[in-house]
Amino acid sequence: MFTYKRIIDISQPVRESSATFPGDTAFKRDIVLTHADSKVVNLTAFTMSPHVGTHVDAPAHIKGSMDAETELVGALPLHAFVGACLVLDLSPTTAGISWKMVQAKISSLPHLTERILFKTQTRIRYDVFEEDYAYFETDLVKELSSRGVKLMGIDAPSADHVRSKTLDAHHELDRLKMSWLENLDLTHVSEGEYFLVALPLKFMELEASPVRAVLLDPGGEGISPSSRH
């Protein structure tokens, strides 16, 4: 049976002050009913870009029309979002992460998981959009895909550089049928192997979805081989 010692929350908090990518819609809460008035319930509605906080992009974020149902976030296969996962600590860095930067580290591992999260920050200001952040170089995406990696995650607002207009890393991830997580919070996670759970919500008409990303920490003995794919 699969057991773990603790749950580590690696999601950024979402509130009205949460930072947004330039041009994105911030989270906003509207109170529709108060318990004081209705005597029955508190009830809210909210608006936000699905890219606020920790989230997953679907292929429709970077190509095609918003009518292409199979490319939208509710249609994403779920396998990549649940399973054995490696956290690599490169913090602190705001560089483009290339294969060269991680090759030695990855080559020394006894095995590679299908999921890799990149820790690049030791402290995150949730309410400030930082222009300087780490992102993926396309050669890294290619090399990891060729080694069986299905999901890459980063504790930065985007897989690409803030001023990229071509979104090369996004397109490479999509071309190789990989999934990616953005805006993780790995500040309190140390390098090692964990079990990731970060499921997108079943939004059938959106190009991205918030996730509640957690790592299950196996503790001393590590994750049993049967839990790997």
Residues belonging to the active site: 61
Measured CA to CA, the distance from residue 164 to residue 134 in angstroms comes to 13
CB of 152 to Zn ion, least distance (A): 13
* Stretch in the footprint of Zn ion (CB under 5 A) among 28-36, 56-64, 106-114, 163-171: 56-64
Judged by beta carbon, residue 172 or residue 182, the one nearer Zn ion is: 182
Q: Which of 19, 57, 71, 185 binds Zn ion (CB under 5 A)?
A: 57
51 is a contact residue toward Zn ion (CB under 5 A) = yes
* Stretch in the footprint of Zn ion (CB under 5 A) among 55-63, 88-96, 160-168, 192-200: 55-63
| DSSP of the chain | ----SEEEE-PPP-STT----TTPPPPEEEEEE-HHHHSS--EEEEE--TTSSSEEE-GGGTSS-TT-GGGSGGGS-SGGGEEEEEEEE--S--SEE-HHHHHHHHHTSS---SEEEEE--S---TTS--S---EE-HHHHHHHHHTT--EEEESSS-SS-TT-SS-HHHHHHHHTT-EEEES---TT--SEEEEEE-PPP--TT-SEEE---EEEE--TT---GGG--
* Stretch in the footprint of Zn ion (CB under 5 A) among 88-96, 160-168, 177-185, 218-226: 177-185
Judged by beta carbon, residue 57 or residue 137, the one nearer Zn ion is: 57
Q: Which residue is nearest to Zn ion (CB)?
A: 51
What are 180's strand-pairing partners?
Answer: 152
CB of 210 to Zn ion, least distance (A): 10
The residues, ordered by sequence, that sit 6+ positions from 21 with a Cβ below 8 Å of its Cβ are 49, 51, 129, 157, 158
**Axis-axis angle for helices 99-107, 138-146 (nearest 10):** 30
Size of the site for Zn ion (CB under 5 A): 3
CB of 56 to Zn ion, least distance (A): 8
* Stretch in the footprint of Zn ion (CB under 5 A) among 123-131, 164-172, 181-189, 194-202: 181-189
Judged by beta carbon, residue 49 or residue 138, the one nearer Zn ion is: 49
CB of 65 to Zn ion, least distance (A): 18
CB of 191 to Zn ion, least distance (A): 25
Q: Interface residues with Zn ion (CB under 5 A)?
A: 51, 57, 182
